[in-house]
Structure 1
Amino acid sequence: MPIPLQTALLLVLSNLFMTFAWYGHLKSLASKPWIVAALISWGIALFEYLLQVPANRIGVQQLSVGQLKIMQEVISLSVFVPFAVFYLGQPFKLDYIWAALCLVGAAYFMFRT
């Protein structure tokens, strides 16, 4: 499997954990004290790091650090928007599209040769 694809797949999985760690408690643990939510989020974040660190170590073999960061941001928004809309019940906003277009521009400039 090509290194950029391995990296992207690991970052997608990492972002799923990260998004639940950062925002999942807003719905699932809303009635619990913040310290409980923080501790559970830290536990979830451990799995995020177990995927994110290898993703970056694999990716840096062929990608620059800037390219890795932009790839991470594109994936992060791609995971966050469906999570916000479908899990948290937030309305879809046109601003998500504008943000995505900005990231397309950032990806263009980071990956052009």
Structure 2
Amino acid sequence: MSLNLPPIGITVSLLLASNVFMTFAWYAHLRDLTHKPWIVAALISWGIALFEYLLQVPANRTGYTVMNLGQLKVLQEVITLSVFVPFAYFYMKEPLRLDFLWAGLCLLGAVYFIFRPHLHSILQS
């Protein structure tokens, strides 16, 4: 069975997966590799980041067929926060803070303004 997702669905799916790798590459070493030299953490993070790029590049290429660069960037930031908050809470054991909510609300405003001129055509694709 083949999923026939529209470009926006493919983009969001790939960016979600990409951001999981990105978040682990950027932050997991703070919990798991503190006893290792920084160069070891950097090389492991670099290896994880390869998988991020293998998903992120096709995501952006697909997304750019239906969105402009600004829209892709704002979408990326929304997805980043959507992945980061559960990562921080569940994996890093950080407390949930109202700052995450306020940041999310600010991003909703960014989404509205960056997608407003093209909202109807994006929802149709």
Give the whole-Å Cα distance in 2 for the aligned partners of 1:5 and 1:33.
Answer: 40
In structure 2, which of residues 26, 49, 59 is the aligned counterpart of residue 22 of structure 1?
A: 26
Report what 1:81 is aligned to: 85
Give the whole-Å Cα distance in 1 for the aligned partners of 2:91 and 2:34.
Answer: 14
Q: Which has the larger radius of gyration?
A: 2
Give the whole-Å Cα distance in 2 for the aligned partners of 1:80 and 1:96.
Answer: 10
Moved over 6 A (4+): none
Give the whole-Å Cα distance in 2 for the aligned partners of 1:31 and 1:82.
Answer: 25
**What secondary structure does 1:36 align onto?**
helix
Report what 1:100 is aligned to: 104
- 1:63-82 deviation per Cα after TM superposition (whole angstroms, max 9, x unaligned): 00100000000000000000
Give the whole-Å Cα distance in 2 for the aligned partners of 1:5 and 1:67.
Answer: 14
| Alignment size in residue pairs | 113
Q: How does 1:1-113 map to 2 (within 5 A)?
A: 1-113=5-117
Give the whole-Å Cα distance in 1 for the aligned partners of 2:98 and 2:62.
Answer: 34
CA RMSD of aligned residues (A): 0.5
Percent identical pairs in the alignment equals 66
Q: Which one-letter code corresponds to 1:94 in the other structure?
A: L
What runs of 5+ residues in structure 2 fail to find an aligned partner? Answer: 118-125
**TM norm structure 1:** 0.99
Cα distance, 1:91 vs. partner? 0.5
Cα distance, 1:30 vs. partner? 1.4
